[in-house]
Structure 1
Amino acid sequence: MSASEVVSLRFEDGLARLRLRRPEARNAIDRAMAYQLLDAASACAARAGLRAVLIEADGPDFTVGGDLRHLHGVGDELPTELQRMISRYHAALAQLGALEAPVVTAVQGAAAGGGLGLLWCADLVIAADDARLASGFARLGMSGDGGSSWAVTRLAGARRAWEFLAEGRVLTAAEAADWGLVSRVVPAAELAAEAERTARRLAEGPTRAFAHLRRLIGAASASSWAEQLDTERRVMAELALTADVRNGIAAFVERREPRFGGR
C-alpha cells in the first residue's frame, strides 16, 4: 500500500475486497478517502464477473465518519469542501448500492456519522460485539449525510430514526441488531472470518438471482402488492432462461449441491 492509499481494492476471483486503511485516524473520511471510495466503487461497477463485495476496515474502529480535523482546517471553504467530499462519497455509495452483486460489510468498534453509509449500501452487515453505531451530526449542528435519514427510517421506523439522528442515541451491536440496522452480531475475534465466509458463500451463489433480489427488495417499500407480484413474475420468467436455474432445479431433484456459474 502506498502512503497515499487510504482505500484498497483487491479482486479475488469473483470477490472484491474493499478496505478502509486509515486506522491512525480511526478511518475518518477525508477528501482522499472520499475520492478513493468513488474510484473503488467505479472499479467494482466496471468489473466483469463480479459476484460479491466485502467492505472491511483496518484498526479497532470501522470509521468515525467525516474527518472533523480536516473540515475544521478548511475554514471559510467549509461549504465548498463539504459539497466536494459528499458528492463523491454519495456517488460511491450509490454505485455500491446499485451493483448487480451482493455487498457484505464487516463492522468493528465505532461506526459513526457519514461512514454509516457503508452499512446502508450493503445487503448484509455483520457486526462485532464491540461495535457501536452513532450519528453524532446533531451535536455538530448538522442534519447528516451518508443516507442515514433514508436507511434508518426504512429499517427501524421514523420514531427510532429521530431518536438515533436527532437525540444522538449510541447503539450497541445488540441494539443495532434489534433495530434491524445490522444483520447479526459475532464475537469480535470471529468478525473477519465470519464476514469472509459469508462473502465467499454469496460469491458462489446465483449471481443473476441476487442482482434481481437487490432490486426487488430495494423497490418493495415503494411498490404496491400487485406491482411487486407482477415484477416477481416477470423476473422469475427471465431467470428461468438461465443455466443457473436449470442447474438448481436439477440439483434439488438429484439431491446434490448446486453449482452456480453466475453470469
Structure 2
Amino acid sequence: MSEVVIVEHDTETGIARIVLNRPEVLNAVDVGMAQALAAAIEDVAGRKGVRAIVIAATGRAFVAGGDISAFGSDPSSSPDVVNAILDAMHPAILRLRAQDAPVIAAVRAAAAGAGLSLVLAADLVVAEEGTKFVIAYDKIGVSPDCGGTWFLPRKVGAALAAEMMILSRTLDAAEAKAAGIVNFVVPQGELETAVAELAGKVARGATRAFGHFRRLSDAALSTPLADQLEAE
C-alpha cells in the first residue's frame, strides 16, 4: 500500500517536499490523510537545514476537498470523523505557520475545501492555468475549517470572501492571482519546473527572517501599531 503523504528532503539545497498521494480520489482528505499530513508537517518543521517547503500533490488535482465517502453526504452525522480530521489538521496549520521556512503550494486543476485552506496557509502559491479555487463547504452544509475563515478575508477582502463562502463562487487561476490567493500562474505542464526554480530561489534566502516576517504579518491585523513596532 502506497503512502498517502510522501516526504522528500534534499539536504544539499534545503528544499523539502510534502506530496499528497491519493490521486485515485483527487487527494480528497480523509482521517488517514489528515493525520499523515500533520505528521509530515511536524517532521519537516522539526528538521534542521530545511530552507523551503513545497506542498504538492500527485495525480490530476491538488485537493478536491474532504473525502465524502469518509463521512457521507452529511458530515454532521459523523462528528467523530470530522473531529478526527480537524484534530490533525488544525495543529498542523499552526505548525506550518510557526516554522521559519517559506511554504510554497504547487497547485493544479482544483483546490477545494480543506485544499483551499491549505493553499491559503502557504506563503507563495504557484498554480497551473485552468486551476479552480472554491470553498465548497456550503455543498455539504458545514462551516469552513482548517483556517479558511481566518486566511480568506485577509487575502481577498471581506466582500470576495463572502461571495466565496455564501455563494460558493469559484475563482480560476487568473482571478485567484488578481484576488491575492495566487502569486504565479504558469502554463499547464510547467508547474514542477516553475516551483523548483522558485523553491531554489527562496532556499537561498534568509530563512529565519522569512519566518519572522510571516509571524509579524499574521499578527499585524490584530495588533496595535505600538506593539507591532516593538515586535519588529
TM-score calculated relative to the size of structure 2: 0.94
**Change over 3 Å in CA distance of 1:197–1:143 after alignment to 2:** same
In the alignment, what sits opposite 1:198? 198
8 Å contact 2:133–2:172 — kept in the other structure?
A: yes
Question: How much has 1:81 moved relative to structure 2?
Answer: 0.9
User: SS at 1:188's partner residue?
Assistant: coil
In the alignment, what sits opposite 1:261? none
Q: Quote the Cα distance in structure 2 between the aligned partners of 1:194 and 1:146.
A: 27
In the alignment, what sits opposite 1:45? 45
Moved over 2 A (4+): 73-77, 223-232
**Change over 3 Å in CA distance of 1:72–1:125 after alignment to 2:** same
Q: Quote the Cα distance in structure 2 between the aligned partners of 1:150 and 1:35.
A: 22
**Change over 3 Å in CA distance of 1:90–1:134 after alignment to 2:** same
Q: Over aligned residue pairs, what C-alpha RMSD do you find?
A: 1.7
**Change over 3 Å in CA distance of 1:91–1:185 after alignment to 2:** same
**Change over 3 Å in CA distance of 1:217–1:142 after alignment to 2:** same
8 Å contact 1:63–1:112 — kept in the other structure?
A: yes
Q: 2:4 aligns with which of 3, 6, 21?
A: 6
Structure with max Cα Rg: 1
**Change over 3 Å in CA distance of 1:78–1:197 after alignment to 2:** same
8 Å contact 1:116–1:146 — kept in the other structure?
A: no
Question: How much has 1:117 moved relative to structure 2?
Answer: 2.0
In the alignment, what sits opposite 1:250? none
Question: How much has 1:228 moved relative to structure 2?
Answer: 2.5
Question: How much has 1:219 moved relative to structure 2?
Answer: 1.6
**Change over 3 Å in CA distance of 1:38–1:216 after alignment to 2:** same
Q: Quote the Cα distance in structure 1 between the aligned partners of 2:168 and 2:24.
A: 25
Amino acid of the structure 2 residue aligned with 1:226? A
Question: What 5-or-longer segments of structure 2 have no aligned partner?
Answer: none
Q: Quote the Cα distance in structure 2 between the aligned partners of 1:226 and 1:207.
A: 26
**Change over 3 Å in CA distance of 1:73–1:133 after alignment to 2:** closer
8 Å contact 1:133–1:173 — kept in the other structure?
A: yes
In the alignment, what sits opposite 1:25? 25
Identical positions, percent: 40
> 1:92-142 CA distances to partner (integer Å, 9 max, x unpaired)?
121112111110001100110111122122110111111100111112111
**Map 1:91-130 → 2, pairs under 5 A:** 91-130=91-130
> 1:39-87 CA distances to partner (integer Å, 9 max, x unpaired)?
1011012111221100111111101111001211999860111001111
8 Å contact 2:74–2:141 — kept in the other structure?
A: no
Q: Quote the Cα distance in structure 2 between the aligned partners of 1:208 and 1:34.
A: 27
Q: Quote the Cα distance in structure 2 between the aligned partners of 1:123 and 1:72.
A: 33
8 Å contact 2:75–2:82 — kept in the other structure?
A: no
Structure having greater relative contact order (Cα 8 Å, sep ≥ 6): 2
Amino acid of the structure 1 residue aligned with 2:126? I
Q: Quote the Cα distance in structure 1 between the aligned partners of 2:149 and 2:18.
A: 24
Equivalent residues, number: 230
8 Å contact 1:62–1:107 — kept in the other structure?
A: yes
Question: How much has 1:179 moved relative to structure 2?
Answer: 0.9
In the alignment, what sits opposite 2:163? 163
**Change over 3 Å in CA distance of 1:106–1:226 after alignment to 2:** same
8 Å contact 1:74–1:81 — kept in the other structure?
A: no
Q: Quote the Cα distance in structure 1 between the aligned partners of 2:51 and 2:137.
A: 35
Amino acid of the structure 1 residue aligned with 2:111? A
8 Å contact 1:115–1:146 — kept in the other structure?
A: no
Q: Quote the Cα distance in structure 1 between the aligned partners of 2:32 and 2:214.
A: 29
In the alignment, what sits opposite 2:220? 220
